[in-house]
Amino acid sequence: MRVEGVDPLILNQVQVQLQKPLVPDTKEVNILTDKDRENSQGQEFAREHLEHSIAKLNAAAELFNIELRFKVDYEKGEIYVLVIDITQGKVIRRIPPENALKIANQMQQLVGLLLDVLI
């Protein structure tokens, strides 16, 4: 059995490939967390969903003669829900949108229970 040498062209190509970095260098690193990804993808959907939930909360407040109104406030890039006393026209509280969505779901369940009992 005879062993021959390696062709210099092939050897040169292998050396060039080994000298290239496996991962290209970058000037800056952007770390995208799951929360950032959710925020960027669903921001428009979240606003529409929030507006719809606030409308439900206001309808439920009118149904139960509660003198409160809810309003979405976009202040300095942050979203809050304002709870407003309609008799005095004052803002009672600023709550995060997540809490407003929870309240809307609970209110919807309460209305559903009342309607089930009445029927």
- Domain membership of residue 54 as a residue range: 41-119
Question: Percent of the chain scored above 70 by pLDDT?
Answer: 56
pLDDT digits (tens, 9 = 90+) for 25-65: 656 655 656 665 555 555 665 788 889 889 988 888 888 88
Is residue 93, in this structure, part of any structural domain at all? yes
Check residue 37 and give its pLDDT. 55
- Total domains, the chain: 1
Alpha carbon distance 66, 64 (integer Å): 5
Over residues 58-74, mean pLDDT = 87
Phi and psi torsions of 17, nearest 5°: -65, -40
Is residue 30, in this structure, part of any structural domain at all? no
Q: Give me the CATH number covering residue 110.
A: 3.30.160.170
Q: Which of 64, 62, 51 is nearest to 100 (CA)?
A: 51
Is residue 11, in this structure, part of any structural domain at all? no
Check residue 91 and give its pLDDT. 93
Output the pTM of the full model: 0.56
| Ranges assigned E (strand) in the chain | 68-75, 78-85, 90-95
Least confident of 5-19, 63-77, 84-98, 103-117: 5-19
Is residue 58, in this structure, part of any structural domain at all? yes
Is residue 21, in this structure, part of any structural domain at all? no
Is residue 107, in this structure, part of any structural domain at all? yes
In this prediction, residue 87 has a pLDDT band, given cuts at 50, 70 and 90, of very high
Tokens of 12: 């040169």
The mean pLDDT of the chain is 76
Is residue 25, in this structure, part of any structural domain at all? no
